[in-house]
Amino acid sequence: MILLVDNYDSFTYNLVQRIGEIDSTLELEVHRNDQITVDEILAKRPTHVIISPGPCTPSEAGISCECVTRLSGKIPLLGVCLGHQSIGQATGGKIVRARRLMHGKTDMILHSGKGLFEGLEN
């Protein structure tokens, strides 16, 4: 079962829909970030946890950072937007406001083709 932590964002159900399109047999549960505890998540024994986007900062995102600190290395985690920021903050990163917002913009990324980027074109 995949458990999705909902950080009160409308995009959460875009993720739910996309996961269903990828594999309709996957079991998926969605829980608001202030309506479930990490202990309750552990008791459910999910195979994966997704932390959703949201309108706030990681410090204001309910159990999002606690999920990372307690589940990291035990259960595969995916953070999207705020969820990604929560992973960064919970693992020692500093989340700061950008001088210039770049939401929805693309940029060229050059890489060595090794590791995570193996087989991907620049």
End-to-end Cα distance, the chain: 35
At residue 98, the pLDDT reads 84
Beta strand pairing call for 48-51 and 28-32: unpaired
Q: Is the pLDDT of residue 1 over 90?
A: yes
What pLDDT is recorded for position 116?
Answer: 79
Per 3-state DSSP, what percentage of the chain is helix, strand, and coil (rounded to 5)? 35, 15, 50
What tens digit of pLDDT does each residue of 89-119 get? Answer: 999 999 998 888 777 777 788 899 888 788 8
Taken in order of first residue, the domains within the chain and their CATH numbers are: 2-117 (3.40.50.880)
pLDDT at 32: 98
pLDDT, tens digit, for every residue of 64-87?
999 999 999 999 999 999 999 999
